[in-house]
A and B are shown apart, each in its own frame.
Chain A
Amino acid sequence: DAKTTQPTSMDCAEGRAANLPCNHSTISGNEYVYWYRQIHSQGPQYIIHGLKNNETNEMASLIITEDRKSSTLILPHATLRDTAVYYCIVRVDLLRKLVFGKGTKLTVNP
């Protein structure tokens, strides 16, 4: 699995967009990018995933650069409930394991 690098922590004002970067410069062509988050003391929650194209769902948008070496998770209108640790994970689709790093601690401030 490709290694990912994320900032340790970030802050965002409530109502503003939160942009969380992830570097995965060693990603290979068949590896997907997954994003999960973990709100304090709860189990991780799936957010979104993508391979090459940008993706959007009801929770977030995922922007993947053309060379696929980095991506950005966008929460368009952050709320206090979005305060959590966000994990960027790169995984080959045939493997069945998620390898979690330390993630980014996002704090949404009022």
Chain B
Amino acid sequence: NAGVTQTPKFRVLKTGQSMTLLCAQDMNHEYMYWYRQDPGMGLRLIHYSVGEGTTAKGEVPDGYNVSRLKKQNFLLGLESAAPSQTSVYFCASSKTGHNEQFFGPGTRLTVL
């Protein structure tokens, strides 16, 4: 039981490049989330999903897109990366909306 895994762990992009971050969970959770964390700040919710095929905007959705084609995977896409998107990205999942969330180890992204 690996829990929540994230791929890749580190990535450096140039401004304007695109990339996709992959989150996978093996706990059969319905809910999945993407957060970003910037230095000195708490986590901010980007997008979330309450089930396969559904997505919704969080607190800071601009510049990101997401997809939940399979229940166990939640993808976060950056179509045209900007330096302001340099951050650590965390994925999380939960069984229901009010159960505890389980977090992945994070992806450290730098946009030059």
| A residues with CB within 8 A of B | 32, 34, 36, 41-46, 49, 87, 91, 93-103
Q: Indicate whether B16 reaches chain A with its CB closer than 8 angstroms.
A: no
CB-nearest residue of chain B relative to A101?
A: B42
Q: A94-B97, A96-B48, A103-B42 are in contact. Are A43 and B59 (CB under 8 A)?
A: no
Q: A94-B97, A96-B31, A96-B48 are in contact. Are A43 and B90 (CB under 8 A)?
A: yes
A contacts with B: majority SS? loop
Interface hits, B10-43 → A, CB 8 Å: 31, 33, 35, 40-43
Query: Which 3 residue pairs across A and B have the least CB separation, nearest first?
Result: A43-B103, A100-B42, A46-B100
Decide: B90 and A49 in contact? CB cutoff 8 A: no
| B residues with CB within 8 A of A | 4, 31, 33, 35, 40-45, 48, 50, 58-59, 90, 92, 94, 97-98, 100-106
Q: Which residues of chain B are near A45, meaning CB under 8 Å?
A: 103
5 pairs from A and B in contact (CB 8 Å cutoff): A34-B100, A44-B43, A44-B101, A46-B100, A46-B101
Q: Which residues of chain A are near B102, meaning CB under 8 Å?
A: 46
Q: Which residues of chain A are near B42, meaning CB under 8 Å?
A: 87, 100-103
Decide: B43 and A100 in contact? CB cutoff 8 A: yes
Q: How far is the CA of A96 from the CA of B57 in the complex (A)?
A: 11
Q: How far is the CA of A99 from the CA of B44 in the complex (A)?
A: 7
Q: How far is the CA of A101 from the CA of B59 in the complex (A)?
A: 13
